[in-house]
Amino acid sequence: MASASCSSLGKLALLLLLWLQSVGYGNAYLNIFISQSQVKKLLGLDAELYYVRDGIINTYAMNFVVPVAAVIDDLEFTWQSLVGQPLAYSMKLDYDSRGGGYRGSGIMALLPPKVNVSSHGYVPTSPQVFAIRLPCSGIASAEIKLALKINVSAPAESRYDDTRLVFKRNKICMQGIRTQSKNDSVTLQAGPLANNNGAFYIAASCACALILVVVGVASVIYIRNSKARSQLPRKNLNYCSYSATGTGALTGSSILVKVDNRPGSANSGSYATIADLEPLYARPCGSRASYYAASHVTHLSQSTDPCEKARAVAVARSALKCRSVIQEGTFGRVYRGTLNHGGRDQEVIIKTVTDAASAYQASLLVSEGSQLAGLIHGNITTLAAACLDGAGNPLLAYCCTLNDLNLKSYLTGGGHHPVTRDLVNVAVQIARAGAFLHGRGILHRDIAARNCLVDTSTLRARLADAALSRDLFAQDYHCLGDNENRPIGWMALETLQHGQYSTASDSWSFGVFLWELATMGQQPYAEVDPFELTAFLRDGYRLSQPRPCPDELFALMAVCWLGPSRDRPTMPQLLAYLQEFYDALGGFI
C-alpha cells in the first residue's frame, strides 16, 4: 500500500481539498473502520472513521498516528469481506517494548498487548469486531509506539495484489493508572518497530506534528454520515479567508458545526488527564509523554496587586510625551509617544483615559494595564512605565517599535496581505506567550487579536493586556444584563455559564483567536444574538471552518472548543503543534 508522506501535512488548503476527493486507491475487497463509539472514545467525535471503504484504501487516514490516552485500554476495529466469501488474513502487532517515555521504560509501563483473534484467519462476510487490549501496568510512565500490520489475501480470481495495511498507535501509559488484564485474548509478542521493504510504515519522525491533527482532521475529513451533515444551524456567519499565496475576502455564509458536548460524558478525547503540571513550557516537545499528560489548572495564583505593579514602574509625568493619537474610544485614548529613560527617548505606546472617563474607568485602566507588568518575554508587551501622580489622568506606557500596529487593525485594515505561513507564525508567537503566562501562574482571560500587537515589517507578534479594549473595540464586548461588558464570542462555555476561568478557558479563547487569523479579523458569531450564544454553545454548535483555511489549522480550533474543559489542548500542546505545522509549511516555500 502506498501512503501519503508526512510532509503532505503542510500542503496548502487547495491541494488538501483535492486530496480529499481522491484520498485512496487500490482494491482491497473489504471494509475496515472504527465505529462511532470508538471514535467518540478516542477523539471525542460522533462519526465512523473508515480506513477502507467499499474496497478503497483511505491513504490519508492511514497516514495518521493515533494517540491512545492512558485511560483507554481497548481498541476495536470492524471489518467485513465484500466479495461474498471470507478473505484470508495474517496479522502481527509490533510494538517498541523499550518505550519513549519518562520516569520509566516501555517494558515496565505496558503489559503484553493482546488481540482477541488469531494471527491467521479469515475476514468474515458480515461486519464483525475484533479488539486489541493495551494493558498499562501503572508502575511507570511511557509512550509506546505500536503498529498493527494486517495482510489480506486477494480473491483467487483477482488480478490484483494482496492488501497490506498498517494501523499505527501511540499508547500513553501513566504511573498510577492501571488496567486490569483480561484472559479472553491472544498475546502477541513484541517485535521490532521497523520498515518491511517500505510497504508497511510511514516515517515516524513526524508523529509529533500529528498528535493534535488527528483529533480535528478526523472531523473534517471523515465525518461523512448524513446524520452529522443534517444538523444545520439556525443562523449563519459571514467569513473571509486566506490562502498560502494571498488573502482575499469571500462572500457567503458558513455553518456552525454540531458536536456532542453533553455534560457528564466520559473522559474521552486524546489527552491523558493527569493533574501533574510539569515545568515543560520551555520545551513542549522535549518529553512527549509528559507533554501529553499536562492537564489544565482551574485556579492559578495572581499574587501581586496590579496597582502595586504599576507603582513599581512609576515615572514623572514629564518623562512621557504623547505624540499622536492612534486609537480613540468614548473614554479611552491610545497615543504614540516617547519615554525618556536615562536621557534617551524610547518609542512607546501610551494608554490613558479622557476627561469624560469616570474614576472607575481610570482605575480599571490601571488594574488591567498592569496585568502583565514585570514579565519579560519576547512575545509579551509589558508595562514599561506608569504615571499615577494624581495631577492628571493615569498614563501607561508600553515599549514598541514605529511599525507596531494592533493585530485586529492589521487584519481588518485591508492594506496587508499575509500568506498562510505568516499567520501561522503569528499564532505560534501568541501561543508561546500563552504558555509562558500559564507556566507562571497567570491567566490572560481575553486572548484575542485586539489584544495583540504586530510589527508590520517583521511580523513579530506580542500578546498585550486588555486595558481599554472594551472601549476601543466595543463591538467585541456585550453586557448580558449584569452591567459588565464581556468578550462573549471568545469566552468558553463554562465561563459563560458559571464564570469559571482556567487555562482551558484561555485555550478556548485561543481557538477563536486562530479563527480570527483565518478570517482576517472577522467577527465570530456575528449573526448570533449575544443573549443566545450560551444556548448555541451548550447545544453543541461551533464556528465552522473558514475557506480555504487549512484542515490542520481548523483541526486545532475544533479541539480548543471541546465541551469538557479537560479534553482541550493545553497551551504547550498548542504551541508544539503550531510550531510543527509552521515548520512543515516552510518546506513548500
Amino acid letter, residue 143: E
- In the numeric block, the cell 486609537 is attached to 327
Q: How far separated are the first and last CA of the chain, in Å rounded?
A: 29
- Size of the chain, expressed as the number of residues it contains: 589
Q: Regarding beta strands 163-173 and 66-68, do their DSSP bridges make them parallel or antiparallel, or are they unpaired?
A: parallel
| CA pair distance 499, 225, nearest whole angstrom | 36
Q: Is 102 helix (H, G, I), strand (E, B) or coil?
A: coil
Amino acid letter, residue 316: A
| CA pair distance 523, 512, nearest whole angstrom | 10
Determine contact, residues 371/342, Cβ cutoff 8 Å: no
166: buried, middle or exposed (CB in 10 Å: 19+, 13-18, 0-12)?
middle
If we measure between CA atoms, which residue out of 566, 326, 573 comes closest to residue 456? 326
360: buried, middle or exposed (CB in 10 Å: 19+, 13-18, 0-12)?
exposed
Edge to edge, the sheet with strand 404-406 lists 404-406, 452-455, 461-463
Q: Is 107 helix (H, G, I), strand (E, B) or coil?
A: helix
| CA pair distance 351, 451, nearest whole angstrom | 13
Q: Quote the DSSP letter at residue 111.
A: P
If we measure between CA atoms, which residue out of 454, 330, 335, 341 comes closest to residue 401? 454
Cell reading at 491: 469566552
Q: Quote the DSSP letter at residue 319.
A: G
DSSP 416-466: ----HHHHHHHHHHHHHHHHHHHHTT---S--SGGGEEEETTT--EEE---
Residues 123-127: contacts with CB under 8 Å, at least 24 apart: 123/30, 123/79, 123/80, 123/81, 123/86, 123/87, 123/88, 123/89, 123/152, 124/79, 124/80, 124/81, 124/86, 125/80, 125/81, 125/84, 125/85, 125/86, 126/80, 127/31, 127/78, 127/79, 127/80
Torsion angle of the four alpha carbons 362, 365, 371, 376, in this order, in degrees rounded to the nearest 10: -120
Edge to edge, the sheet with strand 49-53 lists 24-25, 56-58, 49-53, 30-34, 74-81, 128-133, 114-115, 186-187
Active site residues: 446
